[in-house]
Amino acid sequence: MKKLILASNSPRRKELLDLLKLDYEIITSDVEEIIDENIPFEDVVMDLAFQKAAGVFRSNKDRVVLGFDTLVLLEGELLGKPKSEEDAKQMLRKLSGKTHFVITGCAIISNRLSKSFYEKTRVTFIELSDKEIEDYVSSKEPMDKAGAYAIQGLGSKFIQSVNGDFFTVMGLPVSKLYQELKQLELL
């Protein structure tokens, strides 16, 4: 039996977790994400990651479950996944020429521990033209991404700078997770 469970269906998270050469399987939870708007965004993202991991852990109590959630924060506003192409265009217009934060929360749950943490990375966009936004949205890449862009995909050409862990922006802070798993003797 595999020791770890990744409580995420994200192909990007799977790709990043594979970098750690861990024995794991993917089991996703259909928990309804509940956001407590009265707590700091860093706590929100850790809580959402915990909700996802806990949803899977309930039926896998003999395993270690990893949960993640990523939020894009621009000037105090959360930018989730776009609900439509027009929503994606509006998000990209907001991000154009500005700096925002990407926060990824992580939760590790087992029958002997429960730990949550986060990483926060600052990302700056170049100024985007309406045509660039139109072309990018027509590629469909932004449609299932928080903030309506993929830093590792076609959206990479819009990134002026990244200050922090690049992989946090992709949804899984590889180094921080590795350090935590090592400290918890789960590697």
Q: Which domain holds residue 39?
A: 4-183
Give the per-residue pLDDT at 165: 96
Catalytic residues: 69
How many domains does one find in the chain?
1
- pLDDT digit string, tens, across residues 109-155: 999 999 999 999 999 999 999 999 999 999 999 998 999 999 999 99
| Predicted TM-score (pTM) of this structure | 0.92
Q: Name the pLDDT band for 2 (thresholds 50, 70, 90).
A: low
Q: What is the CATH number of the domain that holds 143?
A: 3.90.950.10
- For range 79-100, the mean pLDDT: 96
- pLDDT digit string, tens, across residues 23-76: 999 999 888 877 887 899 999 999 999 999 999 999 999 999 999 999 999 999
Of the candidates 155, 158, 175, which has an alpha carbon nearest to the alpha carbon of residue 166? Answer: 175
Give the per-residue pLDDT at 185: 87
